[in-house]
Structure formats: C-alpha cells, structure tokens
Structure 1
Amino acid sequence: MHITLYRKYRPKGFDEIAGEQEIVQTLKNSLKTNRLAHAYLFTGPRGVGKTSIARLMAKGLNCLKNGITDTPCNECENCLEIAAGNFLDLIEIDAASNRGIDEIRQLKEKINYSPTKGRKKVYIIDEVHMLTKEAFNALLKTLEEPPEHVLFILATTEPDKILPTIISRCQRYDFKTVNYKDMREHLVFIIDNEGYSIDEESLMAIYESSGGSMRDSISILERLIINTENKEITIEKTEDVLGITPVKIIDKFIEIIDNKNQSEGIELLEDIWKNSIDIELFFKDLAKRSKDRMLKGDLKVEKGLKIIDTVYEVLSKFRYEEDKKLVGYVVLNKLTEINIQKEIVIEKVIEKIQEPSIKDFTGTEDIFVGEIQETITLNFDDIRKSWDIIINEAKKVKLTFGAFLVKAYPKDFRENTMIVGFQNDQSFAKSMMESEPYRSLFLDVVRKVLNAKVMVKYELQEVKNKEKVTGDDFSKKIIDFFGGEII
C-alpha cells in the first residue's frame, strides 16, 4: 500500500525535526533529566511539528531499551507501536470532533487506570481550542493534578481561544513557521532518498507556497514527484503544477511598469487571461517577486514597496469584483502612474525671475518657477479666474482636496486675503480645510498659483450672487472628479 511522503518521512527522533531547535533542546533536556511537567501546551501554525514532537515525547517516556530518554531506540516494541500509531498508552484525541463535556468526562473516568504497556499514559489533545467552555472547565482539575502516570500534551493553532486558566496549568511552547534553510535541508534529504533531483528555484517556490509549513511543503513535493517522469524537477514543471506565474512573465511585467507602457501591459494581461492564469494570483506572485528582488538588490526598495502596496490595496478594495481582469487593469494603471505626478515644492531662488501676470495666464503649464512676489496687485476677478487652476494643482498635492473643495467657491478678496466660501451643509469640509496639514498645503498652492503672499480664510454661509448648485450639478462634479459614471 502506498504511504504518503509525509507519513513515510515523519521524524523518528528529535534530531530529525526541522527547525524549532530551542524547543527541541529544552524538551530533550527534560527527558534526559526526567524533569517533566504534567501538562504541556504546544501552539503554532499548522504543519510545523507540534504533534510529531508530542509523539516523540511519548517514545522517550516509554522506550523499553533506553528507558526514559531523549534518544528512543526505534527498535523496541513500544517505539515501533508508537510509530505505527497503535500504542495503547498513547491516546490521541481530536478536539474538533470530540469537543463536548461528555467526551471529557469519559476521559476523566479512564485516566485513573494504570498504563497497559508503558511507563506513562500520554494524552495528546489536538486542536484543543475547539473544546466547549464546559469541556474546558471539566478538564481544569484534571490538568492541575493528574495522576502520576499521566502526561497531557495539548496542541492548538489558535491559543487565544483557550481559557487562561487552562494555559496557566501547562508548560507552554510557541512554535514558529519553518525557515527556508531548515525546510530546504529536509526536502533535499527526501528528494535524495527518493532518487530525484530538483533546482533551487523549485525549492524556493515550494517554500513560498507552503507558507512555512513543513507538512505542506512535503505534500507539494509529492505532487511534483507524481507529475515528473524523468526524475528531474525543474522550475518550469513546478510553476506548471502549482499554477504559479512563470518568473519570466512577472519580470516582464515589472519591466513594463518601469517603462510605463500601458498598452503592452494590457496585452500581457490578456495573454495571462487566455492562458487561464488566475489574475489575482498573478498579482500576488508579482508582490512576492518584488519582495525577492528587493532583498537581492536588483529592484529599488521604493519601487518594490510601491508595487506591493498597490497590489494589495487594489485587491482588497475590489475583492468582491467578479471580473478580475478589470481589477488587473486598475493595478496596471496605478503602477504605470508611479512618480509621474508633479509635486508642488516651495523653493527660494536667489535670482528674481520676472513672472507673467496672473491675468495673462490661461494655460496649465509648469507655473511654479521663480520666487513668490512680496507685493503684487490682485483683485477678486483675478481670484475667480485662477480658482480652477488652484483646485487642479491642489489635487496634485493631495487628492482629497478635490472632495473637500467640490462645493467651495471664491467668495471675496480683501486685505490681501482670499475668502473661500462653503455652503451651510459643508461644515465638515470647512473644518478639514482649516486643520493641518490641509491648511498649510492649500496655502502653499494658492501662493504659488497667484505668485503672491496672500492669506486664505474660510467662511461658512449660503452662496450669494452665484447660481445655486443643484443636486444634479453636485453629482456631476463628483463624477467628473472621480472619473466615474452614473449607473
């Protein structure tokens, strides 16, 4: 009968455990000196060795050849039965399916019986967080003062769901995900024993797909072995079996981002879609690849972080959108706009450059050159003519200006101060514009556009001498601002 690789290569001794060196060493010392707690709590992600170590402790306690030891012989009757999973004094309970108070009562009734074949009865309660509150309470006294011949090992992936009174009665060990070095070493050992070869890129892909779970990585490796005919596992085969986007395609997409070539990016996304590659998984792979290239130093940190941030921001925002190809276009659009918006910066220039009058300015060219004029003659008509330019430039500095100022208007200009008016229902927008950093940023924009050191004041009142803004007009402004449409 076929035995899965995970069961075939389950650790037979503490030295075969991948990772968790500190925990392993502490438990070995406890066995070596026979200074054991009556109850242990193993916490951590799935597939990192919690149950395997618990079974090794049962071996160490019941080995017939070496006695209580940190190096069980794996030859005696007890060791072999524990390895096969039919040792009478090793009781494994799945709390997910035996979570009620009745099951715990049955456990308490049997716990006082002496071991049948070993020195100690070992109770391993897996996924212990699934027990009901009543079951936990029934277990409390037993955990605190179990019979001398009993050892409890509780295992869980969610320790926050366990009652503090339970945790306080156990010696707790927190397991971590397996690092790449330890996982690689264990996988290479299995591959060599199975008579296969594998490249480094495939090992890294397995590690990334496993999420640091040793059990998952071995299961992934078994899939690759089953799908490999010539006993040579390559990255191309790994990408195909795991459904991972080929690295060449990801690197090509990063190059498209560098060149800000949106049309080529759309073509690439179309090819990905036609080849049945999941768009969402593609962008997650893009984020992982960006991380790897940043760590290697062949992708600028700023650009790599921007890619990762944009990918997860858009995927989260549109997580309920069924057409993932459209979501891909949104990601492409945002990434190809990286660093192309102008930043408004106030600079002191030693030479004074004569600027054209604001009255003569009608375009949207780069107007921010030269120093701000100390004195310049402005009137309310100049302010009104410049208002749209001010709004557009403010939105370049901070997009939210467009939302706060969508119903604002230039009300007056007196004593070198521009008065910005808000309707009575816009008190929130007014308060935001008066707060930092919006107040300072908007003041800088106004001074640069007007080329004068004016002040800005905000007033809340109804529009006067101005056509009333209707609901339709306001909706149109919002639509124009966000580039949307009414549906």
Structure 2
Amino acid sequence: MSINAIIGHDSVKIQAASSIEKGRFSHAHIIVGEEGIGKSIIAKEIAIKLLDKEKNKQYVDIVEFKLQKDKKSIGIDEIKNIIEETNKKPYEGNKKVILLYSADKMTEAAQNAFLKTIEEPPKGIFIILLCEKLEKILDTIKSRCQIYKLNRLNEEEMLLFLKNRFPDTSEDEIKIVNAFSDGIPGRAERFMEDASLKEIRNNTVNILKGICKNKLEDSLIYEDFLLKYKGEWQEVLTWFLSYIRDILVYKETGNNELIINIDKIDEIKDMAEMFSFNKLNGIINIIKDTRKKLERNVNPVLVFDSMLVKMQEV
C-alpha cells in the first residue's frame, strides 16, 4: 500500500506526499483523529515514503513508541528514551522517523522535556505525534508542528473500504457495519472481528423487546450484561439508538429498504407495532441522559439500573 492507496483523507495524503516529494516535509508533525480513524496507517505510510521505501514492513529507521499497558500516561523517563533515540544516527540511510502514539497522554512535564527536541531535532530525524485530543498537547509543541486532522470517512469512502477489506461480506451486513462504524474504519474492523460487539448488538435488541412487552423482570435480567460491558458503554448506547432509529423509521414509512438492522426486521416490525412514538422519544432522552452521566464517570451500576427502570416506566 502507498499513501495514495489509503481510502479517504485525501487532503492530508496530497499535502504530505507533495511536501515529501519536494523536500519540504518539516521535521515535526501531529496527526490527530478519533480512535480507529487511520492515524497509524497514515503515519506509517508517511514514514515509509520519507525513507524512500516501497514495501510496508518493519524498518529499523522507523521507531515506534507506545503507551505502556500498565501506565496511564507518558512521563519524563519515556521521553528521555525517545530523545536518546533521536540522537542516534539512522542505520540504513540518512533519515529516521520517530512515531509517538498516544502523544496526548504525555504529562505536561514530559511535553516540556520533549519541546527542545521537537523544535530542533538532529538532521534527518522526523518526529510524528499521534493523538486523539489535540487540546491535551501544549501550545508550545503545537506551534512547532505541522498538524494533520483526520476526519471520518464519508459514506462512499466507507463503503469502498468495507468492500475492499471484507470482499466476501453480504450487502446486508455491509449496510449494518457501515451504519455502526459511523465513518471510522477501525470500528468496522472491530465489529467484524470482535465477538463481544455481536453479543452487545444481540442483547440490546433483547432488552428493548423486554421493555416493549412491559416486563421489567425481562429487562433486569440484562443488568449483568450491562455491567460486563460497562467499559463499552458507548457501543451499548450506539446499538440502542440504532434499533430505535429503525423502529421509528418503520413506524413512519413501513419500508424495509430504509432499515439498517435488516437481519432484525421481524423484531423491529413487532416493536414498531407495540412502541408508541412518545415512548420511543422518551427512551431516546433516557439514553442521552445516561450518556451524560457515564461521561461524568457516575457509577455505572447505578446509571444502568436507573436507565432500565426509566425505560420501562416512560
């Protein structure tokens, strides 16, 4: 794969490729975007192009630093190791690329320690920082870097990605995955490869079916499921909203072709008959309130219990 073969992010690809070809690629860069958006793919392809290589493989002069699994931040000790690496000459040619993942996890002290190296790295050394939250990076570092912001893929780009990445997948499943991914390729890959997401998807529709039948005990059965996936609460709420969207659409139009979760069409039809518009809108508001509480780190046990009871009572 070359940088131009990556689907989406056209302006970033053109800008980076052009500056490399003209010898104007600056020494420090930040690539910012959501998890799964393609930051690492773009960064590695830029690194390969900088080294004037063809194949996408491991090169000794592309050095990657990642947040250690047992740590929540990148401290001064880790930055000292990176600085030490920047001061080593390239092995194969006259260029070396340093990739720092989760750069927004650097402590303020670590960023200050890294500042001089970012401002004036040794000749032939290129530093690329990857992050999700640009606001966590100090202004003094941002001002010394070229910043590339990666946006979500549009529907046409996302469908092309899915058909290329999963060529044997049915059109119906492509439609489902595309809706779930919300323009983020990494989310689509995870859904196709991670069985836990399929469990989340199946159980959320079962919870709605229990609520639909006004059987509180049926919904409360899923308390353990919700707590099991409390770390994946965004995915859980996404699937709730996806099904409610389909139910509302079917109630309005009766058109199967507009349904995203087409493999669940029988359940959606049943719930469309039993749920009122008022109740569906009430559940949407409950989910929005649940999201706000979880974003504020309110105890998930209390939040999910409250959500299930309110969904039943609305």
The TM-score, its normalising length taken from structure 1, stands at 0.48
1:197 aligns with 2:169: yes
Secondary structure of the corresponding residue to residue 37 of structure 1: coil
- Deviation, 1:155, is 0.7
Partners of 1:30 and 1:150 lie apart in 2 by: 16
Aligned partner of 2:289 among 299, 307, 313: 313
Secondary structure of the corresponding residue to residue 84 of structure 1: coil
Partners of 2:89 and 2:301 lie apart in 1 by: 60
Q: Which amino acid aligns with 2:145?
A: C
Report the equivalent of 2:312: 332
Q: Which amino acid aligns with 2:310?
A: V
- Cα 1:329–1:284 change in 2 (3 A) is farther
Secondary structure of the corresponding residue to residue 15 of structure 1: helix
- Deviation, 1:198, is 2.4
Structure 1 residues 51-450: aligned runs within 5 Å: 51-63=40-52, 73-74=54-55, 83-85=56-58, 87-96=59-68, 99-192=74-167, 196-200=168-172, 202-207=173-178, 209-210=180-181, 212-223=183-194, 241-245=198-202, 264-266=213-215, 270=218, 273=221, 278=226, 285-292=239-246, 298=253, 305-313=281-289, 327-334=307-314
- Deviation, 1:122, is 0.6
Structure 1 residues 25-40: aligned runs within 5 Å: 25-40=14-29
- Whether contact under 8 Å (1:124, 1:155) holds in the other structure is yes
- Deviation, 1:168, is 0.6
Secondary structure of the corresponding residue to residue 48 of structure 1: coil
- Whether contact under 8 Å (1:95, 1:126) holds in the other structure is yes
Report the equivalent of 2:30: 41
- Whether contact under 8 Å (2:86, 2:98) holds in the other structure is no
Alignment deviations for residues 450-475 of structure 1 (CA, whole Å, 9 cap, x no partner): xxxxxxxxxxxxxxxxxxxxxxxxxx
Partners of 1:91 and 1:305 lie apart in 2 by: 51
Q: Between the two structures, name the one with larger relative contact order (CA 8 Å, sep ≥ 6).
A: 2
Partners of 1:248 and 1:219 lie apart in 2 by: 20
Partners of 1:49 and 1:58 lie apart in 2 by: 14
Partners of 1:141 and 1:45 lie apart in 2 by: 27
- Cα 1:168–1:106 change in 2 (3 A) is same
Instruction: Please say which structure displays the higher CA radius of gyration.
Output: 1
- Whether contact under 8 Å (1:14, 1:56) holds in the other structure is yes
- Deviation, 1:203, is 2.9
Alignment deviations for residues 38-73 of structure 1 (CA, whole Å, 9 cap, x no partner): 110111111211111111111112225xxxxxxxx3
Aligned residue pairs, count: 279
- Whether contact under 8 Å (1:245, 1:277) holds in the other structure is no
- Deviation, 1:289, is 2.6
RMSD (Å), alpha carbons: 4.0
If each structure's helix is expressed as a fraction of its own residues, which one has the higher value? 2
Partners of 2:109 and 2:220 lie apart in 1 by: 53
Partners of 1:95 and 1:250 lie apart in 2 by: 37
Partners of 1:115 and 1:15 lie apart in 2 by: 26
Q: Which amino acid aligns with 2:90?
A: P
- Whether contact under 8 Å (2:94, 2:124) holds in the other structure is yes
State the identity %.
23
- Cα 1:275–1:45 change in 2 (3 A) is closer
Q: Which amino acid aligns with 2:243?
A: R
- Cα 1:42–1:275 change in 2 (3 A) is closer
Partners of 1:157 and 1:169 lie apart in 2 by: 18
Alignment deviations for residues 285-315 of structure 1 (CA, whole Å, 9 cap, x no partner): 3433333566786499987654411343367
Partners of 1:100 and 1:162 lie apart in 2 by: 14
- Deviation, 1:149, is 0.8
